Amino acid sequence: MPVLDIKSTGESLPTPAADRTALVTGASSGIGAALSRELSRRGHQVVLVARRAEKLEELATELRAAGGRAHVLGADLSDRSARATLLDRVGELGLTLDILVNNAGLSTLGPVAASDPDAEMNMIEVDVMAVADLCSRALPGMVQRRRGAVLDVASTAAFQPLPGQAAYAAGKAFVLSYTESLTGELKGTGVTATALCPGPVDTGFGETAGFAKEDAEAALPSFMWESPESVARTGIDGLDKGHMIAIPGLANRAASVFAHLAPNKLLVPVLASRHPGLRT
């Protein structure tokens, strides 16, 4: 598996239109909000999806004030029945889904031996199951129309095991492999798929998972950190160019190559020693 794929399929993002939309999950904050802003800035109508509808309304108001078109659909992506109705709800708005952005995600923290099974399964439902579910529902229509694009947000954690966030890294490895496979299946259909693999981003994600920002910054050098805005630009640029993988920041691209090539028997102990979730 090539870690850095810069080849283009020759396809680009669908042209914005009044009856077409991009759907962004996990749009209430962080990378999801930045991706929504970037798509809106480029003229795409957006449907914002997350559990916190009130936060989505704030973003929708901001985008409309800037001349964009935005809609809010509150939904819990861990709920399979809620996911099953999502595309129908988009249709009820009179819109065709042209761009799917699977951004919603979360992480647990700490050793599996001390984990909460319910929390682990909830994470896998959002990080893994929701991606496959929504792609399975959205892609048939895109392929039939011969127009569409899918951006699945993975992580540089997809390139190696990560003691302290074992299920999170494994889930992101699924997203990366799944999206790479989609690029092969979709060749010649007019539909593209890109995996966005950010490194550390200051979004509050780590604090939600359970470790302090100071601990995260101590574990990862400052030159690896990227802003949500730069991550969003990299992701949408990669999607527009038909890239298989988009990794924001030169340092993260280099680290991903190293992680892919380094023997796990050497890499894993180092990662375990530095992860804040495994400190006693």
Tens-level pLDDT at each residue, the chain (280 residues): 444 444 455 568 999 999 999 999 999 999 999 999 999 999 999 999 999 899 999 999 999 999 999 999 999 999 999 999 999 999 999 999 999 999 999 999 999 999 999 999 999 999 999 999 999 999 999 999 999 999 999 999 999 999 999 999 999 999 999 999 999 999 999 999 999 999 989 766 555 545 555 655 555 667 677 899 999 999 999 999 999 999 998 888 888 888 878 888 888 988 898 888 887 6
pLDDT of residue 259: 83
Which single residue is written with the structure tokens 């890294």?
Answer: 169
Report residue 56 as tokens: 């989505």
Which single residue is written with the structure tokens 């490895």?
Answer: 173
pLDDT of residue 2: 41
Catalytic residue among 109, 135, 168, 239: 168
- The CA-based angle 209-213-214, given to 5 degrees, is 135
pLDDT of residue 276: 84
Q: Is 168 among the catalytic positions?
A: yes
Please choose, from the candidates 21, 201, 5, 1, the residue with its C-alpha nearest in 3D space to the C-alpha of residue 101: 21
Using DSSP's 3-state secondary structure scheme, residue 35 falls into helix
Helices (H), 7-70: 30-41, 53-65
Q: Do the beta carbons of residue 49 and residue 71 sit within 8 Å?
A: no
pLDDT of residue 262: 87
**Residue 67 burial (CB count, 10 A):** 9
Read off φ and ψ for residue 10, nearest 5 degrees: 90, -10
Contacting residues for 174 by C-beta, under 8 A, at least 6 apart: 128, 131
Distance CA 13, CA 237 (A): 9
Return the CATH number of the domain spanning residue range 20-278.
3.40.50.720
Hey, where are the domains in the chain?
Answer: 20-278
